[in-house]
Chains A and B, each alone.
Chain A
């Protein structure tokens, strides 16, 4: 593989982790978050600072996970008080607050961000390490989804009041979803910081949060394979559209709109349904 392919592969893997992490919160547990890029950013900035202070990958990765998870817990406490639209806007506000703090803080590099982050020390193996992490994240999410925790999440997502009256401690599970999801986003941030070697504010803004949510929704809320495929699709789409150059973002915006307009349930469930229908016809 050439440098271009490995670079794209790494980016796809990072976005897959991001999509999976938001899928835990929004897809499985039903808490729509519009500020997910902030946790991605927390992980990336934590990694950048630690790596510049001399820590290696095996220290920065858990640190990014923990720090982002803790921030997620704090925002999760917000989610206990607000629901639905309010939650979406509160998480959006948390995202903007993160940007505001980073922009004005000299220790975090302000508008310029932090550059010259040391190498991960894995050399050519790094892209594969990122892919391994993505696979691990996928396995972890599958495990969560199949476990008792996942069933509780789905109950909270389907009907919070009903779940509560069945004796499910909904606040605790919402917090758990936030902590797990944001921790994973922190991992993605760590990998991103090493991948790019520099972190800047604009990589963690509102459009990125929306993009991650779009991956989850297009993949079908709660579907793990859907999230993976949609993340790959949305990361590669701008690359495919490279030949139309200036019109890239225009086409991308229209694509988002058209997807939501015509397949609001997500692409992956649609594909599954079609496949099942084909198989059904074949059996007959």
Chain B
């Protein structure tokens, strides 16, 4: 039983990290239909920035804030310099450009900070609590809390503010939104800024969890994030969230029970292929009727309803 609880909690913690990474990817995909591989580069950059600033100033909160702000700016810059001019091209063109940027960021981090990665001088959020026979680190709790706060904040922002409304309108019907006076460009900037900031937060937290940041830390989580956004139905926020948590759980249990046949990383992709073969449009991208049903059944309103169904109340 305690093994089960342990695995479940580990799965949820990993799921929270995946959710933070995948939400950014899903936002970019939902808006622009680009597979944004360079997101992984931003994730690694965020991890490094957080660590460097924390080590230099001694304040973890400052490190986190600086990392999120700088990476958000980098995300916007990336959109302006790279994606905007090639939006009209077939989807593999931005994809390859994105991979090129990812390689470049990874190499840049390697050249500046060295091959072996860096660690915190004083690991922030050290220590752990006992919870019913399980040791849960403070850092792990912080990851889950941060994911809840950030994603909940995003949901509130999207449903309760005028900017959020414009953003949602642009995702569902860009031309109509533009003709109602929404600036597509500003919405896209906002989209990249929020997504990148979340990736940076995830990067910082992964750095804290492992007490290590390395140049290649972005690769595997970001490929998994791609799997997650497919499972969640491409561009569907709520589906992405559920898929991220599910994947965390499946991995935690799979890594224990299936380790003789598949390594941890390919479990995600095996699960994804199975889902694609049964439901080619992803787990949660049902038709209007079925998502409406989900919302009705759960008696959801406002932000929660939007998160799960992506449809305003």
Contacts and interface: CB of A to CB of B under 8 A. Distances in A.
A132 interface: no
B111 A88 contact: no
A207 B101 CA distance: 13
Contacts of B227: 89, 93
A97 B85 contact: no
Contact of A82 (B103, B223, B265, B280): B280
Interface stretch (A48-56, A64-72, A252-260, A275-283): A252-260
Contact of A104 (B100, B103, B260): B260
A31 to B, nearest CB: 11
Contacts of A256: 96-97, 99-100, 103
A89 B97 CA distance: 17
Interface string A246-284: 110110111111111100100000000000000000000
B97 A93 contact: no
Q: What secondary structure prevails in chain A residues at the interface with B?
A: helix
Interface stretch (A137-145, A175-183, A210-218): A210-218
Contacts of B281: 86
A101 interface: yes
Interface in B145-204: none
Contacts of B269: 92-94, 96-97, 100
Contact of B230 (A32, A89, A217, A261): A89
Interface string B85-99: 110010111111101
B53 interface: no
Nearest to A94: B273
Nearest to A262: B85
Given A100-B270, A261-B82, A261-B86, A246 B262 contact: no
Contacts of B272: 89-90, 93
A53 B188 CA distance: 57
Given A250-B111, A253-B101, A254-B104, A86 B280 contact: yes
B270 A206 contact: no
Contacts of B226: 89, 92
A105 B218 CA distance: 26
Contacts of A100: 262-263, 265-267, 269-270
A92 B273 CA distance: 10
Contacts of A259: 100
Interface in B264-289: 265-270, 272-273, 276-277, 280-281
B120 to A, nearest CB: 26
B60 interface: no
Interface in B76-118: 82, 85-86, 89, 91-97, 99-108, 111
B101 to A, nearest CB: 5
A210 B92 CA distance: 10
A168 interface: no
B220 to A, nearest CB: 9
Nearest to A214: B96
Interface string A193-226: 0000000000000110010011001000000000
Given A103-B263, A104-B263, A253 B107 contact: yes
A97 B270 contact: yes
Given A89-B227, A93-B272, A260 B96 contact: yes
A210 B35 CA distance: 13
A101 B273 CA distance: 14
B33 interface: yes
A101 B91 CA distance: 30
B257 interface: no
Contacts of B230: 86, 89-90
A146 interface: no
Q: Which of B226, B269, B280 has the most CB of A within 10 A?
A: B269
Contacts of B4: none
9 contacts: A32-B92, A78-B276, A88-B95, A92-B223, A96-B223, A96-B265, A100-B270, A255-B100, A256-B96
Interface of B: 29, 33, 35, 82, 85-86, 89, 91-97, 99-108, 111, 219, 223, 226-227, 230, 234, 259-263, 265-270, 272-273, 276-277, 280-281
Given A96-B268, A96-B269, 4 more contacts: A90-B276, A250-B104, A254-B104, A264-B89
Q: Which 8 pairs, one residue from A and one from B, show the smallest C-beta to C-beta distance?
A: A100-B266, A256-B100, A253-B103, A257-B100, A253-B104, A260-B97, A93-B269, A250-B107
Interface of A: 26, 32, 78, 81-82, 84-86, 88-90, 92-94, 96-97, 99-101, 103-104, 206-207, 210, 213-214, 217, 246-247, 249-250, 252-261, 264
